[in-house]
Amino acid sequence: MKHRSLFQGELFLKNQYVELVVFDSEQGKMLLKSRVVSCDKKSISLVWPTTQMGNRYFFNDVHYAILQGLVGTKIISFKITIPVSVIRDFDTGILEVKSPIIVDGIFQNRDHVRINKMVDIKFRFLEKNTFSEDLVEGLTSDISVGGMELSSQEELKIGSKLELFFTLNYFDFEGVLAEIIRVDSTTLNDNLTYVYALCFITMFERDRVALNQILIQDQPNLLEAKID
């Protein structure tokens, strides 16, 4: 379900993963990656966006972009202007744009169909309204449309918010928001490992579609595996 609302000053969290969609005259539609440096009612500062190859993107003749991020159970998106004066800041590594007045939000609902796959996970955790700078490593062998079981040596509390990055069937899932709803622990080879039950809060639309397709591929007898 889609709805429109006024922009809230601190909409995004510091160090949060966000994406920009641009239309390049030579390369067509492109998806850029970035993280939030700061966000208020006047402006949004981002780590300079990079391409899928990890190269910083120079906005040559590109004056607009769609910025999208995950907030609660919604995908938030809005149009931003990329003025020439901003492009001159390329060497600083920070892209600062004017905050919008109106944003669009899409709510997501999910079924809970489970698959068993051993997948390496990297994640950031939220602490004092800021996502951790470094990525922490973890592992899952149990993932569903609604969440996953995550094993890690990082100690976290129930209710902690995580930003997940992982690859499943050659598809990269990036910036998936999740919350810890249960914690257990185990000792393997004298190493204390925490086992977290995670509930997905929201994910980007392409991730939602891809996860649905992977479920269908990995469970051929499943007639209806869908995410509303």
What is the tens place of the pLDDT at every residue in 99-136?
Answer: 998 888 776 555 555 667 789 999 999 998 899 999 99
Q: What are phi and psi of 214, to 5 degrees?
A: -65, -40
In a domain, 223, yes or no: no
CA distance 163 to 184: 20
Do 140 and 212 belong together in one domain? yes
Task: Using pLDDT thresholds of 50, 70 and 90, give the confidence band for residue 226.
Answer: very low
pLDDT of residue 228 exceeding 60: no
Do 6 and 102 belong together in one domain? yes
Q: Which of 49, 82, 107 is the last residue of a domain?
A: 107
CA distance 163 to 12: 13
Q: What are phi and psi of 85, to 5 degrees?
A: -60, -30
The predicted pLDDT at position 221 comes to 45
Average pLDDT over residues 179-190: 86
| Domain total in the chain | 2
Q: By residue range, what is the domain housing residue 141?
A: 114-218
Percent of residues, the chain, with pLDDT higher than 90: 53
What is the residue-averaged pLDDT of the chain? 86
Do 145 and 53 belong together in one domain? no
Do 9 and 100 belong together in one domain? yes
